Every structure is written in C-alpha cells, then in structure tokens.
A = this chain, B = another copy of it.
Amino acid sequence: MRILLVGAGGVGNAIAKIAARRTFFEKLVVSDYDIARAQSTISWIAAKHGVTVASRFAAARIDASDPDDVAAVAREHGVTHVMNAVEPKFVPTVFAGALAAGADYLDMAMSLSEPHHTYPHSQTGVKLGDDQFAQAPDWETEGRLALVGMGVEPGLSDVFARYAADHLFSEIDELGTRDGANLVVRDEAGNEIFAPSFSIWTTIEECLNPPVVWEKDKGWFTTEPFSEPEVFVFPEGIGPVECVNVEHEEVLLMPRWIDAKRVTFKYGLGNEFIGILKTLHQLGLDKTEPLTVRSPNGPVQVAPRDVVAAGLPDPASIGPLMTGKTCAGLWVTGVGNDGARREVYLYHVADNEWTMTEYESQCVVWQTALNPVIALELLAAGTWTGRGVLGPEAFDAAPFLELMSRPVADGGYGQPFGLEDRLVTT
C-alpha cells in the first residue's frame, strides 16, 4: 500500500504520526499546499522514531483544489490510496483526482450540502455526500473503492452502528450519534479562553446548516438549527452536556446500509457555544461568499467565515493549553437479541493529556485521525474489500473494533471502546 495523504493540518499531521507506529504500508506521501507543514510532520517522526521509520515517508506540495494536481502527485508516487485530510470544501477535487489516478480513496467528511431553496428547514436540498454517491457508478466501473466518512464521527460512529445491528440488536429504533466533551482551554495566565477544538470553519458549516434527520416512514428531512435540545450524560467523568441536532454525515450514511426507524446526530455544543454560533449567523459572519472590505492596501475581497477562522487559535496548536476528554459515540435503542428492550451507548473517549504526551496532538484531532489509519490497515490486509462509494457501515465492524481494542503489545492500537447498557430494568 502506497498512501497519498492530502493535507498536513491538525488531522493530517496526526494521521502520519499514528501511521508511523504501524508497518502495513510501504510509503506515505505527506502533501500540503504549504510543503513546509508536510516536512515538519516528517521531521517530528524522524526525531521520535528514527530515520528508518521516517524513510517510509515523503513530503510533497499539492493543490487540493485542482484534481489534475492531485492526480499528478498520486501518479508520481505510484499511490494506491488517497487519504483526504483537507477541509470538506476540497472533497470534490481530491475525490476526482484519486479516481483519475486510478487510486482508492478515503475521507473523513463528505461533499457539502446545499439547503433547499424554498423550505430549508423542512426539506433537504443537496445532501451531504450526494455529489459523491452520484459518482458511485464511475468508481464501480473502474473497480475502485471510495470509503467515505471514515474519521471518528462520521467513521467510528458508523462502525458502531454496524456492530450494534450485527451483534447487539434484533430491531433498532434509533441510531443516535452523541458527541460531547469537557474540554477547557486556558491562556498562559490560566484564564479560560474561547478556542474551539475543531475547525471553526467546519463547525459553523455543520451547526448552521439545517440539521438533517432520517425516519423510516419519512426519509430524510431537515429542521431549524439547534433543534430537539437534549441533555445527554457522557461517560468517564464528562457528565451531562446540552446536545442539539446538527447536520452530519452519519444521518446520510447509516440508513443506506442499516435497518433502523430513526437516525439522528446530536452535538454537545453547550449553551455558550450555541449562543456564539447564533450571533455569528445573525451578523452574517458565517458567510463564505467574499465581501468587499477596506484594508491597508485598498479594498480586498474576503469571506467573513475565513476572517473568523483566521482570528482564532489554530485548533491543532491549542493542545498544550487544553485539559479534559472528548467522547464520540452512538446511542442505540431497540430490541436486543434476547427479544427484550435494550438501550446501549457505544463510545470511545480520548483524554487530551494522554494524546499530548504520546503524540503531541490534541485529543479531538487525534481521535479523528486514529480511525482512518485502522481502516487503511484493514484494507491493506484485505480484511476489508469493496468497490464503489461505500460508508464505514458497509464493512464488517468486528475486525475494526478488535484491531482498535487489542493491546499494542499484541499488535493492536490499544484503544478499547466502551459499551454501556443504560436501560434500567425494574
């Protein structure tokens, strides 16, 4: 397996660092628009693991917005798998470049949605991933695989859904992804500061787009932003967090392969962050169309959302200032294999202190990066095979969770997942 990693930002950097401890691939090309970022990742690997390990890595410059450039870099390095780790707005071009180069493809977020023009808060317009699924016949014809949505959420959450359907439930009412954290970022003086742990650009996209829900009788439909608030209690000391519906890939992926009555995604944003996002929207600062703005060098064209992102700390850089844990998981309700009601929360927790010590990578970024590396290893081994455009739930979940959980000493990733049976039987 020869991998082209597109993007050496927070998640791309962590993917390379996690992969450096594994032997399943022959070559991993770390590419970025700014080649210095790619080189810096490889230097870290050389310093940590030595030059032999680092010799399996190479740096390249890439323009993710140009499919021809993506294909050219992939061909130059004889790449078999393109691992997309740039912002979702570049999904169409990286996706097209991989197919043009005859490579398989993985990403962690799918092609973007467009709200319904007339009824944005009740009907779907262009859905997340629609552009990619529309091209599935091309991938099938070419005999190539695009494994889409293979981060932590989407990704591990979808693996949990397949696991629940295959091993825990005979009938599923709801597949409800629930994401929450108790992360706090403080400045050098110890004062709590506002510093989102994930790309604010993507967070705004997810949270302000109309949330999408799937129901068996109704299909996909949308709601007002921040709908159906619910306090969900997260494990391992995180505790109760206010969660709201958010547009997310799981809702588009799970119903394609798994039988359930309802599929939702709720994000534990908390009240303060919800207020901030509402204000950004009210002031038009979430917009991605450029505005004309005065500058020291005369009027310039700039998108307000890019300015919001530029003014906040880089999520990949705040790890040393952050404390707490992040939890990704799936809340499943229905009828268990024994015919009795069952309600289960399947989850994985990452502790920032541990990810910083082990990887110099903050926990949200690291947790996202872990899962595509495991998937690549299963593909390299031939444990997972497929063609066309497939979500993580199209593959057998058991070997994924087994490899993830198995101790490092025994060749696994040493990352056990949790399973909480929450139904109180009287």
Contact = CB atoms under 8 A, between A and B. Distances in A.
A218 interface: no
A90 to B, nearest CB: 13
B304 A311 contact: yes
Interface of A: 194, 275-276, 279-280, 282-285, 287, 290-297, 300-304, 306-308, 310-312
A310 B307 CA distance: 12
Contacts of A284: 311-312
Nearest to A285: B311
B308 A292 contact: no
Contact of A295 (B275, B276, B283, B301): B301
Given A194-B283, A297-B301, A291 B311 contact: yes
A310 B295 contact: no
The 10 closest A-B pairs by CB, nearest first: A300-B300, A284-B311, A293-B310, A279-B279, A307-B307, A295-B302, A194-B282, A291-B310, A293-B307, A293-B306
Contacts of A291: 307, 310-311
A295 B300 contact: yes
Given A307-B291, A310-B291, A296 B301 contact: yes
Nearest to A200: B283
A295 B307 CA distance: 10
A211 B119 CA distance: 45
Chain A interface SS verdict (over half):
mixed
Given A275-B275, A279-B279, A300-B302, A295 B290 contact: yes
B300 A287 contact: no
Contacts of A303: 295
A146 to B, nearest CB: 27
Contact of A310 (B292, B297, B308, B311): B292
A262 to B, nearest CB: 31
Nearest to A300: B300
Given A275-B275, A302-B293, A285 B282 contact: no
Nearest to A298: B300
Contacts of A276: 279, 282-283
26 contacts: A276-B282, A279-B279, A280-B283, A283-B308, A283-B311, A284-B311, A284-B312, A285-B285, A287-B311, A290-B295, A290-B296, A291-B307, A291-B311, A293-B306, A293-B307, A294-B306, A294-B310, A295-B300, A295-B306, A297-B300, A297-B301, A300-B300, A300-B302, A302-B302, A302-B307, A304-B311
B279 A308 contact: no
A275 B303 CA distance: 23
A294 B295 CA distance: 13
Contacts of A282: 194, 276
Given A287-B311, A302-B302, 17 more contacts: A276-B282, A279-B280, A284-B312, A285-B285, A285-B307, A285-B311, A290-B296, A291-B311, A292-B310, A293-B310, A294-B306, A294-B310, A295-B306, A300-B300, A302-B307, A304-B311, A307-B307
